Amino acid sequence: MSYRDPAFLRDHIKSIIAFYHPTCIDDEFGGYINQLRDDGSIYDRNTKHLVGTCRFIYNYSLASVTLDEPAYKEAAAHGLRFLRETHRQIDGGFAWVLQNRQVEDGTRHCYGHAFVLLAAAGAAKAGIETAPALASEVYDLLEKRFWEPEAQLYVDEIAAGDWNAINPYRGQNANMHMCEAMLAAYEATGEAQYLDRAHLLATRVCVDLADRSDRLIWEHYTTDWKHDWDYNKDDPKNLFKPYGYLPGHFAEWAKLLLILERYRPETWMLERAQSLLDIALEKSWDADNGGMHYSFAPDGTILDTDRYYWVLSETFAAAACMAMRTGEDKYWAWYDKAWAFADQCFVDHEYGAWYRILDGNNKKYDDLKSPPSKTDYHPLAACYETLEAIRYFA
């Protein structure tokens, strides 16, 4: 078996979808049931997380395109209806968490709205007719409510019911996922506004902001977009906004820069992508136990030794894109190394899909394979982007 074989990658997409489908389809309340244990049993059928809903739509859309399976297109359309009819609120924003059809947390997160755009883009790729209009609607909403023209970046969080109640925190993570969504929307529609915005976001984060921190990407910023070096310093394992540099995001940005380069090539993109990926691997790979540490401090000290499923996923996707772009064998070697570790420690060969998080000794913490919002979007999309890179450079 070769991890580079397109047949392997398509089979892996199929195996991930098979773990969730059709268990995750909620025919009673609409949308999806996200919360599954390792064996596929449901432990919470009521919580509907915006990111989980969107990621399922994206997963099913990519699976429909890759595997040519009509049932997956129907499953994506099922989720898109729930997204538009239930997550979307009367003011145009999308609620963060629902309990069945009732809003539990109506906060407007930029991160969540990035995934709404990504879901619409994926659905458009799958040929769902209502998807391009939703993408356009979300772009306009973002422009009106989240975009800061002076900063040329998006704000992070806005309170429910008051578009003027903007949280002072600013972060790169939401803007990174917005870049991802804009690229996908451009691929799906060919509309220049999405590519223009992806290019601007990449330039602001990977050049303008990174140049102020040794060309590395810091996560947290003040309201006026100065590096906040103390944010969550006492909480390096914060689930959503951990302190420190995240090598997984270096790899993710490397992948996005290489995709962006295909459509609007500029000389800095490859150089920055290569630097970010090389540093991610150098700083985080555990030579003793295998796998990748999660975060490191500005002085290079490892902060969090946990291994997250998404980090390995983004790393193998970035390594594949880099190998195809540069022809350098060392990136295929890293691709194979990342996949071999994931195959041994993260992929559940009994029930399917990936475990979410392992400790520094590569052991699971629990049997919750898919807590709210996981859906295995990262490995599935990473397989898809690897296939796209192989196709593009063939």
Residues designated catalytic: 249, 378
Q: Is the dihedral of CA 23, 28, 30, 36 positive or negative?
A: negative
Residue with tokens 């295998």: 290
Phi/psi zone of residue 152: left (φ > 0), alpha (ψ -120 to 50 degrees), beta?
left
* DSSP conformation class of 156: -
Q: Is 207 helix (H, G, I), strand (E, B) or coil?
A: helix
What angle do the packed helices 377-393 and 247-263 form, to 10 degrees? 40
For residue 85, which phi and psi values (nearest 5 degrees)? -95, -25
* AA letter at 288: D
Q: What is the DSSP string of 180-195?
A: HHHHHHHHHH--HHHH
For residue 104, which phi and psi values (nearest 5 degrees)? -100, -40
Which parts of the chain fold into alpha helices (H)? 6-20, 50-67, 70-82, 110-125, 131-145, 172-189, 192-203, 247-263, 267-284, 309-326, 329-345, 377-393
Q: How far apart are CA 245 and CA 218, in angstroms?
A: 6
Q: How far apart are CA 244 and CA 304, in angstroms?
A: 9
Q: Which tokens is 179 given? A: 């870049």
Q: How far apart are CA 273 and CA 262, in angstroms?
A: 13
Q: How many CA atoms lie within 13 A of 152 on its CB side?
A: 12
Q: Which of 251, 132, 258, 118 is nearest to 184 (CA)?
A: 118
Q: Is the dihedral of CA 52, 389, 175, 341 positive or negative?
A: positive
Q: Which of 31, 6, 37 is nearest to 352 (CA)?
A: 37
